[in-house]
Chain A
Amino acid sequence: MIKTPKLLATSSAMALAGLLAANSAAAAELGDVKDPIKLAVLEWTGAQVSTQLAGMILEKAGYAVEYVPAGSFPQYSGLSDGTLSATVEIWSNNVGDIYPRALAAGDIENIGSLGLETREGWAYPRFMEEVCPGLPDWTALKEPACAAALATTDTLPNGRLLDYPADWGSRSAEIIADNDLPLTAIPAGSEGAMIAELRAAQATHSPLLLMFWGPHHVLAEIDLGWVEMPPCASDDPDKCVKLPEVEKVVWSGFADKWPAGYEILKSFQVTSSDQEKLMAAILEEGQPLEEVAAGWIDSHQDVWQPWVDAAVD
């Protein structure tokens, strides 16, 4: 991972790592500036913000950029053959097997983390602390009264944990089994379903426990508490809740065609707080994505200019 200059000053070890990173991000040719770099724009606002920022920085470096809407599963087909050049926000928690398979096939390349400070785990609207006293400690979920409050027809007599859609893959059912919790994980079907439930639960004060992650735009609207998860019983890290990785991925021919662009995208980072602010401006105030992103570019030149300078001759 590439450290930003601010961090370099903090420790000499980091400085060394930073120097190595800076060396690896060696200045390179621009490459083909006529043929646009095609960035995949995914369905959720966070990814739209990240993509727009990455695209605008590439434009500052002199590239032509095209923003292409892409489904989160179909995009791998486009990235594999260069129809799409890059995608900057792949969440390890919602991709299923299609992503590891495409990586293994060698047609796409993971170029590191986007740098978002993520979180993931079981979450609940704040009023749940009255329904299940003892939250956020996970042992509060063991209480029969808590399970009864969460129970639905699908889960009787257990309480319901609203889980990720089945196609994302999830670990909640195993965690429940490992810890003998009176809960049943019910897949939500889609992200929209999870958010609709969350909003409805908040509006009606009806009990809800759900697997969730951040940064997410709905967190600006609803204050969630996060369960302090039970210690992971399994040795297999894939079966535990851990911080999801958010990664940048390029088409395998990217580095040859746009060498400097490749270095810029490798350096490209977005902080969670920046992304959350931009999402709020779009979703709460209705400002157009392009204007919001342009505003960030204007006010954060100190952040992105070094990425461009280090990459371009």
Chain B
Amino acid sequence: MTDLFRRPGLLIWSVAFAVCLALVLLAPQVRWIASFPRALQLPLADWLNAGLNPLFETVQPIGRGFATVIDAPLRLVRDLLLFVPWPAFAVAMFLVALRTAGRGLAIFGLIAQLYIVAVGYWTETMNTFAIVLLSLPPAVLIGFGLGVAGHRWPRLRAALIVVLDLMQTFPAFAYLIPLLILFGFGPSAGVIASVIFSIPPMARNTLVGLREVPAVIIEAGVMNGATPGQLFWTAKLPAAARQLLVGVNQTTMASLSMVIIVAIIGGFNDIGWEVLSAMRAAELGRCLLAGVVIVALAIVLDRITGALATGTPRGVVLMPDRGLLTVVAAILLAGIGLRLALPGLELLPRGLGFAAAKALDRSLLQFVGWSDPVFSGLRDALNYGIILPLRIGLATAASPMVWGFALQPWMVAAYAILTLALAVVLAPRRPAAALLILFAALILYTGLARFPWPCVVLIALLAAWRIRGVGLLAVVSTALAMILLSGLWQPFVQSLYLTAIAVLFCVLIGGAIGIAAAENDRLSQIVRPISDALQTLPQFVFLIPALMLFRVGEFTALIAIMLYAIVPPVRYVEHGLRGVPPHLVEAAVQMGVSRWQLLRDVKLPLAGPAIRLGVNQTIMYAISMLVIAALVGTRDLGQQVYIALGNANAGLGFVAGLSIALLAIVADRMLRRN
């Protein structure tokens, strides 16, 4: 961050600090500093409703027609998948997995399918599979089209990237109401939401793939007299094929991660629906049984599409591919034939999941009861010691009610002197750090939630301008104006504060785990499947145990966010450290550095770009959890999204959703420096 504060910057930031200090001191007297004046707020949500709802209703017939077009093939695919007896499907899947991704995945897939049949979720799984299968082609085609357009017309690219960012960060819950108005109730609306969310990875990979086609290939094409069309189809596209397949892989995963949203609308008895109703009844066992199905589905689809993208070093070739296809088709057809011949045949056994789910629920409750002394202590310590002071500040936390003593003037003086002294000591050599400490001390004093809003605005605008210039400054000003004027400031600050704490802890803890995993192969092997599971398990599954151990409130929300957002720092730090060129490590070792010096002075700096990308991803993940975390009781933008949903207030949903999306996009731009 140090280049934030290049010489002229130093002065600007010092002035900013002085202004903030003055505002903090004035806040108790001047009302409009403490909270944005209500009189200035505008009914933005109502205006949006008045403007957008008629618009949606006008284009409704088109949307409904579109939904009907999707509905028929969706039901056809589902009926077909359900008509094939499961053993035939399992054998076919085994052969495909064996050919593409190798023996390990083939066996895993077989076990997964046996599990799905045993717990009684075959029908639900096939319904979900149908949704994923149907949302893939449109997402891939549209994403490819957008990517090609962005490549062909470079002027479009900046706008395209903003649109893609919005599609990925705008929480689907927030546009559920317009979606329902436009496309009506049913799985098609869910498929459309899922397509919207899964287009961006395909478009991005298309852009990257086409951009990175080696110049040699293009030159060769041009010299051979290829027309632009020929050049594209015969030279560029084949050269970018691998990257495009990576896009298909990521699009598949994105569409799978939307199964819960599809289920929230309903209309299709899919596995996400099972997770949702289990969550509603707070049954961890059932939630987990269904969640594991999604994980298994994700792993199988990821490995198969991933293997297709990167070539198939592990694929087992039993016979030529054409022969294999014939065999797979024959098995499936034989299954269908069997079903036609014996219409009454019911091959699915009764689900055995119930007993296991019940047992799991019982042991969770036993654990909650048994571990209560530990967890209630932990809960209180973290709540009173960290969470509450960060929110309401030392000024308020140091009260007889919270910490058992009142804040005396001498304590405030000591705090101020200590901070100043530290800043003065640091100032000559590291002025930026000194300024950071001053700001941090000020925020810690008032608490994030009570930090005067003009200061937040000032800091955000300055940071945007200093880091990325006028463009980002415009975005940040618009976003902040929208949030302040619509009266969503408090929920926004809550979101900001939840995200900030979650990211901080995730980077510290996840980074440490990543470092340890990079240094130790065995640990790495243990960590990897856990990361996979945390990433693909529907986030709802975490909510139940977190709630039972930590109770309703921000702290539980924090735990839920962290369980999901901790994966990127673990992965990227390990990946970055392991990617350090061996000869550099060798050289350092020969110069006699200790293991610790090697890590601090050689590996970590070299892994810098990967780590920064990891931090970026952590922020994205944390923000994407805000809406789901609101289910455990937060007062953030996520809660506003649900209130909007419950009141059919599309405008409020739009404003709250856009605030979340802009928070993510701005954070991303600030971290991704040019």
Contact = CB atoms under 8 A, between A and B. Distances in A.
Interface of A: 40, 43-45, 68-71, 73-79, 81, 83-84, 95-98, 101-102, 152-154, 156-157, 162, 165-169, 186-197, 199-200, 203-204, 206, 217-218, 283, 286, 288
A90 to B, nearest CB: 13
Nearest to B397: A153
A156 B368 contact: no
Given A77-B180, A206-B376, A186 B185 contact: no
Interface in B322-370: 350, 354-355, 358, 365-366, 368-369
A189 B634 contact: yes
A166 B366 CA distance: 30
Given A156-B401, A189-B633, A167 B642 contact: yes
B276 A43 contact: yes
Contact of A68 (B181, B267, B645): B267
A138 to B, nearest CB: 22
Interface in B394-438: 401-402
Interface string B173-194: 0001000110011100100000
B632 A193 contact: yes
Given A193-B633, A195-B282, 12 more contacts: A69-B268, A74-B176, A78-B185, A83-B185, A96-B646, A97-B646, A98-B647, A153-B553, A192-B543, A192-B547, A197-B551, A206-B376
Nearest to A67: B269
B631 A189 contact: yes
B281 A192 contact: yes
Contacts of B264: 71, 74
A188 to B, nearest CB: 5
A83 B632 contact: no
Contacts of A45: 277, 281
Contacts of A166: 639, 642-643, 646
A192 B647 contact: no
Contacts of A191: 280
A193 to B, nearest CB: 5
A131 B117 CA distance: 48
B646 A44 contact: no
A189 B552 contact: yes
A70 B185 contact: yes
Contacts of B181: 77
17 contacts: A74-B185, A77-B180, A96-B647, A98-B647, A153-B387, A154-B553, A166-B646, A190-B279, A190-B631, A192-B280, A192-B281, A193-B631, A196-B543, A197-B548, A200-B368, A200-B549, A204-B368
B543 A70 contact: no
B642 A83 contact: no
Among A156, A191, A192, the most chain B Cβ lie within 10 Å of the Cβ of A192
Given A71-B264, A192-B544, A153 B388 contact: yes
Given A156-B401, A167-B643, A190 B280 contact: yes
Contact of B184 (A77, A154, A194, A196): A77
Contacts, number: 175
Nearest to A151: B401
Given A74-B180, A166-B639, A286-B358, A95 B276 contact: no
Nearest to B176: A74
Interface in B210-256: none
A200 B548 contact: yes
B180 A196 contact: no
Say whether chain B's binding surface is mostly helix, strand, loop, or mixed.
Answer: helix
Contact of B645 (A73, A75, A188, A203): A73
Interface-centre pick from B268, B401, B552 (highest chain A CB count, 10 A): B552
A187 B279 CA distance: 17
B355 A193 contact: no
Contact of A167 (B280, B551, B646): B646
Contacts of A96: 643, 645-648
Given A75-B185, A81-B184, A286-B355, A199 B266 contact: no
Interface residues of B, number: 59
A274 B485 CA distance: 51
A186 B372 contact: no
B364 to A, nearest CB: 9
A73 B646 contact: yes
B47 interface: no
Contacts of B282: 192-193, 195-196, 199
A203 B368 contact: yes
A186 B554 CA distance: 11
B267 A193 contact: no
Nearest to B64: A81
A246 B347 CA distance: 39
Given A43-B277, A166-B639, A204-B376, A196 B646 contact: no
Nearest to A96: B646
A217 to B, nearest CB: 7
B130 interface: no
B552 A188 contact: yes
B448 interface: no
Given A78-B186, A193-B633, A203-B368, A69 B646 contact: no
B180 A44 contact: no
B384 interface: yes
Nearest to B190: A74
B515 interface: no
B647 A167 contact: yes
B639 A83 contact: no
Contacts of B648: 73, 76, 96-98, 101-102
A268 B387 CA distance: 51
Given A71-B266, A73-B646, A83-B185, A193 B552 contact: yes
Given A189-B634, A200-B547, A95 B646 contact: yes
The 9 A-B residue pairs whose C-beta atoms are closest, nearest first, are A78-B185, A96-B646, A167-B646, A286-B354, A189-B633, A70-B266, A196-B547, A195-B282, A77-B180
Contact of A162 (B184, B265, B552, B630): B552
Nearest to A154: B553
Nearest to A74: B265
A95 B647 CA distance: 8
A197 B643 contact: no
Contacts of A97: 646-649
Interface in B637-667: 639, 642-643, 645-649
Contacts of A43: 273, 276-277, 280
Kindly name the residue among A76, A96, A168 whose own CB sees the greatest number of chain B CB atoms within 10 A.
Answer: A96
A89 to B, nearest CB: 14
A44 B277 contact: yes
B642 A165 contact: yes
A196 B387 contact: no
B383 interface: yes
B552 A197 contact: yes
B267 A78 contact: yes
A177 to B, nearest CB: 18
A189 B368 contact: no
Contact of B553 (A73, A75, A152, A217): A152
Contacts of B280: 43-44, 190-192
Nearest to B269: A69
Contacts of A206: 372, 376
Contacts of A218: 281
B642 A74 contact: no
B185 A169 contact: no
B385 to A, nearest CB: 10
Contacts of A199: 282, 365, 368, 548
